[in-house]
Amino acid sequence: MPIVWLNGEWLDRSSAMISVYDHGLLYGDGVFEGMRAYEGRIFRMDEHLDRLYDSAHAIKLDIPVPREEFGEITREGMRRSGLQSAYLRHVVTRGVGDLGFDPRKCEKPTVIMIVDDIRLWPREVYERGLRVVTAATPIPHREALSPRTKSLNYLSHILARIEGIEAGADEVLMLDSAGSVAEGSGQNLFVVKNGMVRTPPAYAGILKGVTRDAVIELIAEAGLPFREEMLNRYDVYTADEAFLTGTAAELIALRQLDGRIIGGGAMGPITRALLEKFQQLVRAGA
């Protein structure tokens, strides 16, 4: 069952509440992480916690729970939920303050950990692949707020996803301000052409995903040629295969972008091989 740890208390979904004066709600002032558990084991929890604490440090937010203790709380949440496969969300806000911006008014951060389930698309979409459109809303400029800070400010990605919903698409592709391909609404992008796997580099203004890193490791283990480089929509339109990766999304193929069929219009052999390797990896708890 879903369970929530909130500032030291174990609660259920209906009883877990925060103040309307919390700066996470009022101003998006906070950071978060999403993790996955498979067969009772949390996948790469250390990497996710590292990013959570780094993100908090980047915005001058001190998490009042020691990192190792938060790891134990996370494992305890899995035990209490009784779930074998789960999605875990960690949220840390600046805390309760007043209606002004001044962070000094927030005496103590709010710390939340949720254990629940998630599925972004129906199973049949995972089987057939995503129909994607390019969003007009770009990702935020990387000098405004570093994309490596996984903050609560996701409004641009939500607006992009609204565009996709209104277009009847499964997902969107977001560009940077110069028109280069960046990412999905919450996933990293990979393309395959003539056996070469490519993905936008971290300096392109994308979030450096934990699942992205895991898939890059699998690409290396498989001996596939690989490059991190800037891409444009032509590279996706003309790819033999394309897929997205993310903690919530896992690994899912693209079958179409902006009305152009990608490759054979179905999951390609390299994507399928990487998906199988990824499934083996997560179930091994590696």
Q: What is the DSSP string of 168-218?
A: T-SEEEEE-TTS-EEE-SSSEEEEEETTEEEE--GGGT----HHHHHHHHH
Joined together, the tokens standing for residue 102 give 């001044």
pLDDT category of residue 170 using cuts at 50, 70 and 90 = very high
Backbone angles phi, psi at 67, to 5 degrees: -55, -45
The proportion of the chain whose per-residue pLDDT surpasses 90, expressed as a percent, equals 89
The proportion of the chain whose per-residue pLDDT surpasses 70, expressed as a percent, equals 99
Instruction: Single out the residue of 6, 8, 26, 2 nearest to residue 17, CA to CA.
Output: 6
Backbone angles phi, psi at 236, to 5 degrees: -80, -45
pLDDT category of residue 143 using cuts at 50, 70 and 90 = confident
Instruction: Single out the residue of 155, 219, 207 nearest to residue 183, CA to CA.
Output: 207
Q: Coil, helix or strand for 158?
A: helix
Instruction: Single out the residue of 193, 204, 95 nearest to residue 143, CA to CA.
Output: 204
150 is an active site residue = yes
More confident residue, 245 or 124: 245
Backbone angles phi, psi at 196, to 5 degrees: -90, 130
The CATH number given to 3-116 is: 3.30.470.10
Q: Do domains 3-116 and 123-284 have the same CATH topology?
A: no
Q: Residue 258 has what pLDDT?
A: 98
CA dihedral defined by 177, 183, 185, 190, rounded to 10 degrees? 160
The whole-number average pLDDT for the span 244-260 is 96
Q: Residue 148 has what pLDDT?
A: 85
Among candidate residues 105, 108, 150, 208, the one labeled active-site is: 150
- Strand residue runs (E) in 22-137: 30-38, 41-42, 86-93, 110-116, 130-134
Question: By the 8 A CB rule, do 94 and 103 touch?
Answer: yes
What does the domain layout of the chain look like in residue ranges? 3-116, 123-284
pTM of the model: 0.94
| Residue 40 confidence (pLDDT) above 90 | yes
| Residue 31 confidence (pLDDT) above 70 | yes
pLDDT category of residue 142 using cuts at 50, 70 and 90 = confident
Q: Residue 234 has what pLDDT?
A: 98
Alpha-carbon distance 96 to 109, whole Å? 7
The whole-number average pLDDT for the span 99-117 is 97
Low-confidence winner among 78-82, 96-100, 122-126 (lowest mean pLDDT): 122-126
| Residue 285 confidence (pLDDT) above 80 | no
The whole-number average pLDDT for the span 61-76 is 97
| Residue 116 confidence (pLDDT) above 80 | yes
**What's the mean per-residue pLDDT of the chain?**
95
| Residue 257 confidence (pLDDT) above 80 | yes
| Residue 175 confidence (pLDDT) above 80 | yes
Q: Residue 205 has what pLDDT?
A: 83
CATH 3.40.50.2300 describes domain 123-284:
no
Alpha-carbon distance 249 to 174, whole Å? 16
pLDDT category of residue 202 using cuts at 50, 70 and 90 = confident
The whole-number average pLDDT for the span 210-227 is 97
pLDDT category of residue 286 using cuts at 50, 70 and 90 = low
The whole-number average pLDDT for the span 221-237 is 97
